[in-house]
Each structure stands twice: as C-alpha cells, then as structure tokens.
Structure 1
Amino acid sequence: MRAGALLSRVGALVVVLGVIGLLPWLSGRDPALSILRARSAEQEPTAEALDAIRRELGLGAGPVSALGDWLGGVVRGDLGRSWVNGSEVLPSVLSGLSVSLTLMGAALVVALLLTVALCTPTLVRGARGTLRGNASTGGPAAALAALPEFLLATLFLLALSVWLGWFPPYGWQGPQHLVLPALALGIPAGGILGRLVDDALPAVFEERWVGLWRSSGCTPGVIARAALRRAMPPVLPQFGMVAVGLTGGAVAVETVFAVPGIGRTALGSAESQDLPLLQGSVLVLVLLGLTAGVLVGGARRRMLGPGLRDAALSLPARTTGTVGIANRVVPVVSAVVLAVVIGWGLLLEPLQLDTVARLASPSWGHPLGTDSLGRDVLARVGHGAVPTLGAAVLVCVCSYVVAMVIGFAPSLAAGVAETANAVPPVIAGILVAAAIGPGTVGASIAVAAVSWPPLASHAAALVQEARAAMHLSAQRAIGSSPFWILTRHVLPAIAGPVARHAVLRLPGIALALAALGFLGLGAQPPAPEWGLMLAESLPYVERAPWAALAPAALLLLLAALAVSLSTLPVRRVSIGVSRDV
C-alpha cells in the first residue's frame, strides 16, 4: 500500500470520527438544551437547569475537550451514557449490533445463493465451450440490483404479510421474523454480485488459456473452477462495497419490519436527539463497513499472490452486442409512463384536503385514490417528482465535478473514496440530520457526500491509464507543456466516460433520496415527496394499499429505467476500479 493512500485513508477516518464526536456542537443547538428536552419536554429550560446539565456531563469545557474525552472513552470501550434515560450506551449498541449481524449474515447467504443461481448458466456454458454472445442473466441480475431495499421490504410486507399472511409483519421473536428482512436485503445484493461475476466470466472464457486447457483434455469442472478463480480478484472489491451497502440498507429494512437492530437504534436516537447513543451506533456502522472493506482487500491480495499484489489486475474489456428489443422498449415505456403520470399530477392540487374522501379507492375523481388526509395521490406523486428528480440531477452534477477534480490525485482518491464508501447514504443522512436537521437540503448534502467516490475511482483509473499511454510519452518527448497534454489529451479521455457513468447513477441517486425521505430524514410533511409518501401510507396499508403502491410503482419504473440504461452497450468495463454495476 502506498504511503499517500495510507495517509489519505487514516486522514479520512479521522475526519469521520471527528464529525461523530462533535455531533453535539455541529447541530448549532445548545447540547445542554437538547439533553434537557430529551429528558423532560415539560421542564423549563432555566439557566440553572442548563448549567447543572453542563456540569454533570462536562460540557462546559468546550467541543475540543469533549471530543478528546469521547475518543478516549472509545479507546477504553466506554461510549458514554444515554442523554434520555442515563443508561450505558455500549450494551444498547452491542445488543443492536448482534441483531444486525444476524440479519446481515442471513442476507449474505441469500445474496450468495442468488449469485450462484445467476452465474451458474454462464459458468457451465463457458466451461463446456458453448457460450455464445452475452450472458443471459445480465438483465435479470441488473433488475434485481436496481431494487431499493426499503421498497422491496414494503412490497414484501404488503404481499407476503398483509395479503397472504405467510410471515409475521413486525418484530424479532423467532426465525420466521428473519425471512422477509433477509430477503429484502439479500435480493438486491445478490443481483449486484450476480451481475458483476456474470459480466466477468465471458471475458475470462475468451482468453487463450481456456482453449489450450480444453484442447489438453481438461474437464469442464476444472476449467470452471480456474475461470472462477481468475474472475474473482477484480470483482472482490465490489463484494466489500456490497457488504457496506448491507449496513445502510439494514437501517430502512429494520425500520419497516421493526427489527431492533443497530440501524433502527441509530435512527431512533437521531429522532430523540440522544446523541451519545447516536454517536455509538454510527461509529459501529462505519467501523463495520471499514472492516468489511479491509477483509475483502486482504482476501483479494491473498488470491493474487505475491507476484501480482502490486500490479493492476483487470479483466479484458467485454464487448457488448446489439441492443435487444426489450432493452429498447423498456426505457421508452418507463419514460412515457413516468412522463404521463407526472404531467397529469402536476395539473392537480397536491395539498387540498377532502376529509370526506379519506383513504378513498381509485375513481374518476381520484385516479390513484386518496391518502389518510384525503389528498389526491396522483397530484402528490406528480408534484413529488420535482423534489425527488430535481435534487437527484443537482447531486449528480456536483458528484461529477468533484470526481473530475479528485480523479487527478489517484492516491487521494483511493483513500478518501474508500472511507466515504464505508458511509452509506442512510448513515450520512442520519449524521447530516443530526447536524442541520432533516429536510431536502440535508438529504441532498448527505447523498452528494457519498455519491462521488465511484465516479472519482473511475476517473482516477482513467487518468492513470491516460498518463501511461505511449502517445503522451511522445508528446512529452517533443516538448508539449503539461497544460497542453492535460486539456487536449487527458481531460477529453476521461470526461466522456465519467459523464456516462454519472448518468447511469442518476436513478440510483434519486432512489437514495427517496430512501432518506422514507426514513424521515429528507423532505418533511406536507411535502409531496415519493419516499415520504410511502412512509406516510404504511400505517394504513391494510385499508388503502393503493396509497403505498402508487409511489412504489413510480420508484419501480425509475428502477426499470436505471436497469435499461445500465445494460446499454459500453466500450469498456473497469470492474476492479469502479462501482459500475
């Protein structure tokens, strides 16, 4: 590991720890006042009461001293005491962590089983020499990967718990309560892993050694195992990112199914302003993500061996063929339906109340029914597209600009990007909400803070490749200035591919913003935002399922559009250095 990358990783981790430790002061509110209100909302915030709390918790020394005390406590295994009930934070964090680790372990089993199911046809055909063209599982895998965990959890709750009654909808009393949360977390993760491996295998089977082994009489089983080992090192970093994604997705899934895990603990502590419990919960989630990344990196280095550890190992570019009819029709249909629903909804009033028509079924007057306050659902989903998609475009542009700047410092990009990747959007949303309060601006800042690393990693890899090109060596030899090389050769080589990568991530950014709205960390009532609408309709899902299905259907159409964009032909896939899926 290069010294620059190591320093950047350590520096970024220190920044994250500093933000967590300074949460009581970053909010701009008096920590003593927050503690007083958390303990007793009726008590008058007199100067004497606030001074007593400051003396009790040592808040009078200032933020720097408090940060040092908190970090010292972390080193000793002491995370402090809850501001609400005075209990120790560490036991609560460990209790939630054990539940979350159980859930994540079950979700990982689901993801690996799904990965095997998606990749087995390609692996078998490639080992037998019958693989022709693109792998057939790319489309289904991409469709599963594009499903947000909170949306899948809501659909499972509706279909398998409310309508069919196969599984309990809430709680954590037995193995039967583990099934639906594990499926909601594991299916998208399995789709991502399945597509990554499935995309990598055809390029491996096109390498010359496969034909040589086959002509030498090696069995398909031997070839399949060797091909799988050859394909795994470049995609292993993505496995770590998927594991990090499980920690963020678990927050929403635990909230939907009322699972007492560490994610739900963090969200509840943010809502109650119990900052010591929030600090401990977020710290554990961040360390969990970093640990997953370190373990996967070690596994990759072990698989590469000493001869290739310091060398760049990437798979050959996988060329894609012509775009199928389905890949042409799906984006057009999705875009048309979204445009019609949004345009129709924008013509209606989203905040008009009709208490007589509360939870009304779809009719000519209300094509998508009404919500619990009698507001027209079609009007709200139409107007909700503006904050959801508009904020997503702005976040996407900001992420692209940051990626283009940081991409020219590959060592810095590697360390900072890996650390930022360890903070899922939901965790970033909790931190931002704790600092500046929930809202559309805070949600946009949170998603932007964690959306640039994949683009920056992609840009850094392209910059390294461009600088090593032979024609640039010739340009330097004939005396071309660095500015000329940068503006005429390097920038044009990376701007286009990174921009296409950013466009592919636009629907995912919109879904991340919707997830924060669903958790109450984004737009606040009565704003007509898709994620918030879905959260507001959950308590009434048995009486009026259409109120939840309308925003869910639009989010699914958005996911379908993301799948169609991601399956378009590309010139080059850099699996080992970017999070392209």
Structure 2
Amino acid sequence: MRSLAGGGAPALLWRTVLVAALVCGIGLLPWLSRTDPALTVLRARSADRDPDPETLRAIRDDLGLDDGPSALLGRWLGGLLHGDAGTSWVSGSQVLPGVVQALGASLLLMAGALVVAAGVVAAVCARTLRLGARGRLGARRPGGSATAVLAALPEFLVAAVLASVIGVQLGWLPALGWYGPQWMVLPSLALGLPAGAVLGRMLDDLLPGAFGEPWAMAAAARGVPSRCVARQAVRRCVPGLLPNLALFVVGLTGGSVAVEQIFDIPGLGRLTLHAALAQDLPVLQTGTLALVLLAATAGLLARLAARLLIGPALRDGALQSLHRPRPPAPRTLPLLYGGLLAAVIGFGLPREPLALDTLDRLRAPSLEHPFGTDALGRDVLARISHGALTTLGTALAVSAAALAAGLLLGLLPRVSGPLVDTLSAVPPVLAGLLVTGVLGSGTWTPAFAVAVVAWSPLAAHTSSLLRQERATTHLTATRALGAGRWYLLRHELLPAVAPPVARHALLRLPGIALSLAALGFLGLGAQPPSPDWGLLLAENQPYAERAPWAVLFPAAVLALLGALAVTAAGGVRLPRRRTRPAGPAGPPADRVVPAPLRRPDHPDALLTPVSASQTEER
C-alpha cells in the first residue's frame, strides 16, 4: 500500500517542493514577466496617455513592483490567506469573486462534457463488451475508424459546426450565452465527443486483456449473466484509466478556451487566456492557481478511487496481467489512409500556397482549384499540402519526445507523479503563453510549450499500468525464482506497458498537431500567411456558412491523419522474443535461469518453471 499511497516521506517531500515552486512561480509572475507591468496598467487605465518614465514610475510605486521578488511574493500570499487576490489591472475589480464565478461555470460545463464522454465511451466499447461477456471475443482485431475521425476533430471545429447548424440554422438549441441547462447542451457535446472517443479507444484497448483472465472465462463458461461479467471487466480496467481521466477533467475545465469563446461562456479557461493576452497578471495568477488546485484534487481523487477498486490486489500481488498477445492488425486501412494523405500532400506541393487572386475569393472546388479557394483567393489544396510539411514534422518530433519522456518518467512514478499533477493544470495554450513570457517568442516556442505538457498523460498511463503489472501473480513468481530488476523490466514490464502507451501516443498525435498550430495562430510561433493547419481552420472559420469547403477540407485532412494514427496504433506491439536453446556455452548472460523447484509431496519430482511470456509465445 505504500507505493499506492505515493511512496512515503521522500515522495511527499518531492511533491511539497514542486507545489511550493509552482506557487512561488505564479506569485512572481509580475517579476518574471519580460514585459513592463506598469505599461500594461497604463494602457488599461488611459490608452491615449504617453508612457513617460515618471508616469510609469508612479504606477510601479503604487503597485509595489519595485519592492523586489520576496516582497511581491509575500504580499500576494498574504492577501490569499485573507481572501484577497488583488485587483484586476484592466477592469479594476476584485479578482477572487470573478475567478470563483468562472470556475463554477467551467465545472458545470465539465460535468456536462463528462456525461457526454461517458455515453461515447459506452458506444465505442459496446461491441467488445458484448462479445467478451459471452466468451466470443476471440482474436478480435481493433477497428474504430469512426472513433478515430471523431477523436481527431478539433473541439473548436465541432463547436462551430454545432453552433451554426443546430443553434442558428435549425434553431433547436441556443447557440450563445450561459443562462440555463439548455445552453449547456451544445458546448458539452463539443467537449465530450472528442474526449469520449479518446477514452473509449483506451478502454477498448484494455478490455480484451480483462476478458482473457481466468475469472472471466470461467464466468462465461458457467453461464453468469453477461451484464455482470461486462461490469466486472470494466471495473478491472478502470484503474488503468483513472490518471488520464483526472487529466481529462483538468483539460475540460482549463483547456476549453475555444469552446467557451465560441459559445460565449464565462469560464475559467477563457478568463485565464484573456488575462494572459492582456497581461492582467493578478487575474492570471489566481486563475492558474485555481487550475493547480483543481489538478491536485483530481489527482488525489484518482489515487483514492484506484485504492478502493484494486487496493487489496495491489497489496497482495494477486492481479492478472492485462497484457495479451495481440492478433496481427490489418494493414489495409493504414495503407489506404496513408496513401490518401500522401496523395493529397503530393498533389498540392507543386502549387503556390501564397499566390493571391482577389477575383477568385471563396471560389468553390473546381478542376483548377480542387479544394476551392479561401477569402484571399489562395488555393486551399496548396496551403494544406505545404502546411503539412511543418505541422506534421513538428508534431511527429514532439510526439516522439513525449513518448520517450512519458515512458522514462512513468517508470519512475515517485518522481513523475508530482510532476504530472503539477503540469496537468496547465493547458497547452496557457503553457505557450507562460513559456513566451519567460523565454520570449520564437520558432520553436510552440513545440517546446506543447512538449512540456504532452508527456504527462503518457507518464500517467505508464505509471498506472506499471503499478498493476508489478502486482501480477506471474511477476511475483518470476521474482521468487531469482529474476532481477533488469530482467523483469526488459522481459516482463516493458513488453506489457510500452505497446499500449505507444498506441496512446498515436491517438494524441492529431491533437498535438492542432495544439502547435493553435499556438502559432496566437502569435507564439508561425505567423500568417504561414499555411499551418490550425491557421487554415481559424482563418476560414468565419466563412464556414458561405464557403464551407474552406473549413471542411482542412478538417477532413486532419481527420484523415487521426484515422491513420488510430488504425496504425492497432498494430503497435513488441516483437516476440525468441528463446534460444542453451548450448554448450550455457544460457545467454541476460537470462535468469532459476534453480529447479521440488514438489513438496514428491521431493524427487522437479517442477519446471514456465514464465508468462513463454506461455504467451506458445
């Protein structure tokens, strides 16, 4: 139980140091900022007044900005202890009431999105649950192209389509505002549909292992109701998803900036982003602190839920491994999606992405312009193709770095656990703004900002699977037979943990590509007229009703990337380890040969140990 609780005193000390460092960093934002806070206050109070040195000095004296970092931090923390978060530099109102009100709206929106996500998860896993509960799962190959497309769609695009079609054209539900339950439906759908598709794919990846355990096969053979078997299988897999579910909760609260912007929702993400763009540091400090507290609470609840679900089994080492040999995945769909994506990119590369023709503005698709033109008369196909070179290349590099960091740090849960809880509070957009504020804007600022937070879901997934795999019976037996740490890590733990985490990383590839482009749109990286995919979607969104092709074709290519990533992820597995017979020179040096065991009832009879991996190979 010690590892489940967090690793004892050293882990608690490490967690305390990280939280203290983050709180101090938030409190010192006025001192760490590369811009002059006094200039921000002057522009907010009197935009026409010249920023002469005397005026700026008077504002600094009024705000106490020249008192030094220790005085700034002490004054901010002291105000928080007395329920005072300061005054907004832009509006002049008290910060804390506005942040509390925005947090309430975001939590309500998050609850609605979780309900939608739960329904999507149930729909994605319905076939696996039905077949597995009846013992007919067999060698089911992973599919799910529809969920791949859904998971790849950007939230703001789903929100724009729902608002324009259902809210404006059909008039079934209100599209703007935040006045009651009816105004929750469309934004909850926009947030819950992509999140549910990702969580559903992750759960569907674990369910075959649960249905392959002895209890499930015995229950199906004895005629136990399939509903009971399916419920227990879900209960068996949920602990492996709880850390990522906590990250989704934080992401749906602080990362729903675009959805809150489209539907005009006064949420915490929108408030924090506007404060960061306007350099309203008191609001930014309090909003970021609220996100940190929310992330810490969600992580604590996830650990407590895992303890309630499988705590005794983790303590006694009585779990079965969810790692099962996967059937060969069909290569038809990945080749088809990859061929289509390569054809689109290759066909548009010879075209000029920056050529303007004002007479061909918002022209419909034709032989001359297969994907139509945008509001400036530029060829959409050319911009998609040339944008793929930078968007996909950077996204692949960031995804590979996030996967490596996630696996490495996930294998050290005492180190990575507090880091995950800390970084999960920072959405990629806000991370980009914070990184820019400290390091300045540059070409690699979006990649660095996304990479800072992209590894945390993979590390949380790795740690969760590793915790359960270490408590399996076959690993306990292998350890008792004399296997060392490196042998267990190389031959048992990594083959069980690395493939599902790699599939998870591929699921997040389209989201990373969109996050990079969104940061570029905010002015933190690539600037217009760069043909980044995020810029294409954002620039053409105002013309969605008049020229839908300008938005649909970039979104279709992004969805095609998601379908390619998910179908290719279904075939990710480690190669089977070949066992070599021991020759005259003896066994390989890295293999552990345990001493033979004798049966207690027959001392002369030997028991030959067989590892779980050897059983799977047979």
TM bin, normalised by shorter chain, reads 0.7 to 0.9
Aligned to 2:274, which of 261, 268, 271? Answer: 268
1:9 partner amino acid: R
Match of residue 20 from structure 2: 14
The answer to whether residue 194 in structure 2 is matched with residue 191 in structure 1 is: no
Match of residue 516 from structure 1: 519
In 1: Cα distance, 2:301 partner to 2:320 partner: 20
2:351 partner amino acid: L
The answer to whether residue 572 in structure 2 is matched with residue 566 in structure 1 is: no
DSSP 3-state at the match of 1:59: coil
Match of residue 57 from structure 2: 51
Match of residue 335 from structure 2: 332
Q: Give CA-to-partner distance per residue, 1:54-107, whole Å, 9 cap, x none.
A: 111111112332123223323333221111121111122122112211111111
2:129 partner amino acid: L
Q: Please, what is the CA RMSD of the aligned residues? A: 3.7
TM-score (norm 1): 0.85
Q: Relative to 1, partners in 2 of residues 1:227 and 1:407: Cα closer, same or farther, differing over 3 Å? A: closer
Q: Relative to 1, partners in 2 of residues 1:52 and 1:473: Cα closer, same or farther, differing over 3 Å? A: farther
In 2: Cα distance, 1:472 partner to 1:503 partner: 36
Give 1:474 deviation, angstroms: 6.6
The answer to whether residue 185 in structure 2 is matched with residue 179 in structure 1 is: yes
DSSP 3-state at the match of 2:528: coil
The answer to whether residue 367 in structure 2 is matched with residue 361 in structure 1 is: no
Give 1:418 deviation, angstroms: 3.4
Q: Give CA-to-partner distance per residue, 1:193-241, whole Å, 9 cap, x none.
A: 3333333333223222234445666444443443333333333223222
The more displaced of 50-59 and 392-401 is 392-401
Q: What aligned pairs does 1:13-52 form with structure 2 within 5 A after superposition?
A: 13-52=19-58
Q: Relative to 1, partners in 2 of residues 1:490 and 1:38: Cα closer, same or farther, differing over 3 Å? A: farther
For structure 1, the residue ranges without an aligned partner over 5 or more in a row are 573-581
Match of residue 285 from structure 1: 291
Match of residue 381 from structure 1: 384
Q: Relative to 1, partners in 2 of residues 1:236 and 1:426: Cα closer, same or farther, differing over 3 Å? A: same
DSSP 3-state at the match of 1:60: coil
Q: What aligned pairs does 1:412-491 form with structure 2 within 5 A after superposition?
A: 412-436=415-439, 440-456=443-459
The answer to whether residue 339 in structure 2 is matched with residue 295 in structure 1 is: no
User: Residue 357 of structure 1 contacts residue 374 of structure 1 at CA under 8 Å; is this kept in 2?
Assistant: yes
In 2: Cα distance, 1:545 partner to 1:299 partner: 45
1:537 partner amino acid: N
Q: What aligned pairs does 1:99-114 form with structure 2 within 5 A after superposition?
A: 99-114=105-120
Q: Give CA-to-partner distance per residue, 1:341-371, whole Å, 9 cap, x none.
A: 3334333333333333333333344333332
Q: Relative to 1, partners in 2 of residues 1:474 and 1:112: Cα closer, same or farther, differing over 3 Å? A: closer
2:12 partner amino acid: L
In 1: Cα distance, 2:125 partner to 2:31 partner: 49
DSSP 3-state at the match of 2:48: coil
In 2: Cα distance, 1:487 partner to 1:113 partner: 37
Q: What aligned pairs does 1:236-255 form with structure 2 within 5 A after superposition?
A: 236-255=242-261
Match of residue 147 from structure 1: 153
DSSP 3-state at the match of 2:527: coil
DSSP 3-state at the match of 1:202: helix
Task: Give percent identity, aligned residues only.
Answer: 51
Q: Relative to 1, partners in 2 of residues 1:275 and 1:5: Cα closer, same or farther, differing over 3 Å? A: same
Match of residue 600 from structure 2: none
The more displaced of 445-454 and 282-291 is 282-291
The more displaced of 284-293 and 436-445 is 436-445
DSSP 3-state at the match of 1:61: coil
The more displaced of 330-339 and 553-562 is 330-339
2:562 partner amino acid: A
Match of residue 550 from structure 1: 553
User: Residue 241 of structure 2 contacts residue 461 of structure 2 at CA under 8 Å; is this kept in 1?
Assistant: no
Match of residue 89 from structure 2: 83
1:132 partner amino acid: G
In 1: Cα distance, 2:493 partner to 2:134 partner: 43
DSSP 3-state at the match of 2:117: helix
Greater share of helix: 1
2:370 partner amino acid: P
User: Residue 112 of structure 1 contacts residue 190 of structure 1 at CA under 8 Å; is this kept in 2?
Assistant: yes
The more displaced of 518-527 and 47-56 is 518-527
Give 1:120 deviation, angstroms: 3.9
In 2: Cα distance, 1:253 partner to 1:179 partner: 12
The more displaced of 425-434 and 93-102 is 425-434
Give 1:462 deviation, angstroms: 6.8
Paired residue total: 563
User: Residue 343 of structure 1 contacts residue 382 of structure 1 at CA under 8 Å; is this kept in 2?
Assistant: yes
DSSP 3-state at the match of 1:308: helix
Larger radius of gyration: 2
Match of residue 544 from structure 2: 541
User: Residue 8 of structure 1 contacts residue 416 of structure 1 at CA under 8 Å; is this kept in 2?
Assistant: no
Aligned to 1:232, which of 232, 235, 238? Answer: 238
2:155 partner amino acid: E
In 1: Cα distance, 2:335 partner to 2:368 partner: 28
Give 1:268 deviation, angstroms: 1.6
TM-score (norm 2): 0.80
Q: Relative to 1, partners in 2 of residues 1:318 and 1:499: Cα closer, same or farther, differing over 3 Å? A: closer
The more displaced of 67-76 and 404-413 is 404-413
Q: Give CA-to-partner distance per residue, 1:443-480, whole Å, 9 cap, x none.
A: 21210101223444567777997x99969997979xxx
Match of residue 324 from structure 2: 318
The more displaced of 253-262 and 215-224 is 215-224
